[in-house]
Amino acid sequence: MAVLRVKFTKTKRDKLAQVLWILNWISVVTGAILFSLGLFLKVEINKREELMAERDIQYVPNMLIAVGLIACAINFLGGKICYDCVDSTKFLRWKLIMLPYIICTFFFTFCVLVGALMCYSTRGELEESLNLGLTDAMRFYKDTDTPGRCFLKRTVDMLQIEFQCCGNNGYKDWFQIQWISSRYLDMTQKEVSDRIRSNVEGKYLMDGVPFSCCNTLSPRPCIQQQITNNSAHFNYDHQTEELNLWMKGCRQALLEYYTHIMQSIGLTVLITWLFELSVLTGVRFLQTSLENVLRQGDPNSESDGWLLENSFMETARINLNIIKSLGNIYLLPVYRGFATGV
């Protein structure tokens, strides 16, 4: 028994072909949108690649770019097929191509679905990449005279100002690293030399943060040095008073930024997948109804169209038998070789 059998008159077949022609051209546009979204995501990731560890997170935008290009090509061909199918006599030139086209497009829609799911499943990898990348960027913040690292100070400062964040997980991360270059430290001062000697690794650590951590919305002048020393500032208690620093860590800020982009793109790709699947369903009805017209020999007659000629179970059994037959054809020469000892 056919699945979703629908009866089509000639007028309905022609209208279906015309609608599908329009929808395929809309699908070409959606393919271009997917390509553009993939390109946009790739650019956004590359803009801050120096703040990310060497992890392969580019596969998401690359997947979207590839899917977008393929969607444009497939739907352009689908539009041409549906346009010619308005005339049932022109259907003959596409008769042998339509079923392989439908099967290939059906599997391609799964690639679109995978692209949508990937946008929702990369949060963990992205978070780990940002965590390691930001840790290294902060560690090299002071190396303004080292080739290959001299740009990191500006990059980190611009990041903290733009995203209103401080440190990796928070402002206290700056307490754990030496972020001032030794060339700007006066080693003749006792305080400086004592701090360096008191550290096992010989680093100059202090309870201070770079200027870019300052909260520009705070009415009080920024306190970025001796943050934990209450006596160093008037009317100040770092444990009870809200500090005039950005409280959010940059890893969380960037993760929220990229997650929002990826979830928006993922939703767009998911809607595109549903749209592609509905267009493909219409093409399948058009193909089966036109094939039945050819069997009847009258282009003006009514014909049945369906999604599957047999039930789901019967279709699965037939396809399984075809696969087994193909396997037997492939393995038969091998068995003969073993039997003859060749």
Per-residue model confidence as pLDDT tens digits over 144-162: 888 877 889 999 999 999 9
pLDDT at 56 over 80: no
- Write down the pLDDT at residue 3: 67
Query: How far apart, in whole angstroms, are the C-alpha atoms of residue 207 and residue 42?
Result: 37
Pseudo-torsion of CA 244, 247, 248, 250, nearest 10°?
70
Q: Which of 290, 312, 293 is nearest to 4 (CA)?
A: 312
Residue 19 burial by Cβ neighbours in a 10 Å radius (0-12, 13-18, 19+): middle
> pLDDT tens digit string along 230-281?
888 888 887 765 678 898 999 999 999 999 999 999 999 999 999 999 999 9
Six-digit token pair at 100? 């392989």
CA distances from 308 to 9, 92, 312 (A): 19, 21, 7
Instruction: Round the average pLDDT of the chain to a whole number and report it.
Output: 84
- Write down the pLDDT at residue 335: 44
Cβ contacts of 125 within 8 Å, gap of 6 or more: 55, 57
Least trusted range by pLDDT, from 198-202, 261-265, 323-327? 323-327
Q: Which of 259, 251, 257, 253 is nearest to 134 (CA)?
A: 251
Contact predicate 279/30, CB 8 Å: no
Confidence of residue 332 (pLDDT cuts 50, 70, 90): very low
Please tell me the pTM assigned to this model. 0.81
Q: Which of 15, 188, 150 is nearest to 86 (CA)?
A: 15
Q: Which of 321, 284, 276, 291 is nearest to 74 (CA)?
A: 276
Least trusted range by pLDDT, from 50-64, 97-111, 213-227, 310-324? 310-324
φ, ψ at 238 (rounded to 5°)? -70, -20
Q: How many CA atoms lie within 13 Å of 147's alpha carbon, on the beta-carbon side?
A: 0
Query: How far apart, in whole angstroms, are the C-alpha atoms of residue 289 and residue 56?
Result: 47
